[in-house]
């Protein structure tokens, strides 16, 4: 785990260097000072709406394992998404499975499968938005190549997960036969891990629920794109909502890289690349990236901290348990 953290911090450091290289700091501070901060209010409102929808969508994916009311989902989701933002190298992804295990006794491997399903839906939706964006605006070649690569990965992964879920008994038998070559002390735990992981995929054979989750995913990313567009208005950029979707897609591709806590560096570099490609000056692009990152992160972190008392756990406790679970994963 320590190697992952160090690697993430190094990537963030490199991205920060390139994001700030050649920047006129007087122009950067002037750009930040010139923003119409009235638009921050709707930006935060839209971000909170997107956060609520994320919690709701996760509940729909989780329903095959355990059913929670929306209040519980919001509490668990808020803490989990906060952990994703605050812990490096996406180690916070273990937080929600840990909280589900703590609350309901569901194995972490099963609820971790719901996180993977959620991420695959995100990737597929992002690629849909990128296809729409490419029709309307020109993107940097490296962004298009990265998008095509992620599309191939996400479609392949989605098909594999569907096969595992639909052909559950066949998949389990194949896994059992493969694990028999291992010593019992390794085969037993891996066998239980695989079985519970497949249990977490059982939303996928339900076409109605799968399409509903896909619709929710489209709505979530449309809301995030809207938050980017609203901040365009605060900066006075003459860019359309399609550009907002484009910037959102580019940022999402950027933050897939391991990074320091809060996606520092990867987020800013990706956002700057997108805006500069649309004719925004380097100083304005970076100042926009700094503010968008701040106002997309702060509501999630504040909500997560506010929800901690409901689970009777502290932030250091979340970090410690994420560390332990990652070491045993």
Reduced to 3 states (helix: H, G, I; strand: E, B; else coil), residue 25 is helix
From the list 47, 29, 21, 18, the residue with the least C-alpha distance to 294 is 47
pLDDT per residue over 122-150, tens digit each? 989 998 898 888 888 888 888 888 888 88
pTM of the model: 0.89
Q: Do residues 95 and 84 touch, judged by C-beta distance below 8 A?
A: yes
Instruction: Give percent above pLDDT 90 in the chain.
Output: 59
What per-residue string of b and e applies to 281-301 under the rule 16 or more CB within 10 Å gives b? ebbbbbbbbbbbbebbbebbb
Residues in the chain: 329
Mean pLDDT by 10 residues, the chain (329 residues): 78 95 95 97 97 97 94 96 85 89 90 92 91 85 84 87 89 85 81 85 91 97 97 97 95 90 94 95 98 97 92 69 54
Separation CA 95–CA 83 (nearest Å): 7
Q: Do residues 109 and 193 touch, judged by C-beta distance below 8 A?
A: yes
pLDDT of residue 242: 95
pLDDT per residue over 227-257, tens digit each? 999 999 999 999 999 999 999 999 999 998 8
């Amino acid at each position: 785990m320590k190697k992952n953290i160090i690697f993430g911090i190094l990537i963030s450091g490199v991205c920060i260097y390139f994001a700030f290289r050649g920047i006129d700091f007087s122009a950067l501070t002037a750009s930040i000072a010139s923003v119409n901060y009235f638009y921050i209010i709707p930006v935060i409102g839209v971000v909170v709406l997107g956060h609520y929808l994320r919690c709701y969508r996760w509940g729909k994916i989780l329903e095959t394992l355990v059913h929670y009311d929306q209040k519980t989902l919001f509490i668990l989701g808020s803490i989990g998404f906060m952990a994703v933002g605050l812990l490096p190298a996406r180690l916070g992804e273990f937080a929600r499975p840990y909280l589900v295990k703590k609350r309901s006794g569901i194995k972490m491997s099963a609820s971790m499968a719901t996180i993977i399903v959620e991420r695959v839906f995100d990737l597929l939706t992002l690629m849909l938005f990128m296809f729409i964006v490419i029709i309307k605006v020109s993107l940097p070649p490296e962004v298009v190549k990265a998008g095509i690569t992620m599309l191939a990965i996400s479609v392949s992964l989605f098909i594999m997960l569907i096969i595992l879920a639909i052909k559950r008994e066949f998949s389990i038998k194949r896994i059992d036969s493969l694990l028999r070559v291992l010593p019992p002390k390794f085969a037993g735990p891996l066998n239980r891990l695989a079985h519970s992981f497949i249990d977490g995929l059982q939303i996928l054979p339900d076409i109605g629920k799968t399409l509903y989750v896909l619709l929710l995913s489209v709505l979530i990313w449309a809301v995030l794109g809207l938050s980017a567009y609203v901040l365009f208005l605060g900066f006075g950029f003459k860019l359309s909502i399609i550009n907002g979707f484009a910037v959102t897609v580019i940022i999402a591709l950027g933050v897939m890289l391991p990074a320091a806590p809060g996606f520092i560096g990867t987020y800013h570099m990706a956002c700057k690349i997108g805006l500069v490609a649309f004719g925004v000056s380097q100083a304005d692009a970076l100042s926009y990236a700094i503010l968008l990152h701040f106002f997309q992160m702060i509501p999630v972190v504040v909500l997560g901290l506010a929800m901690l008392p409901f689970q009777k756990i502290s932030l250091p406790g979340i970090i410690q348990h994420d560390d332990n679970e990652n070491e045993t994963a």
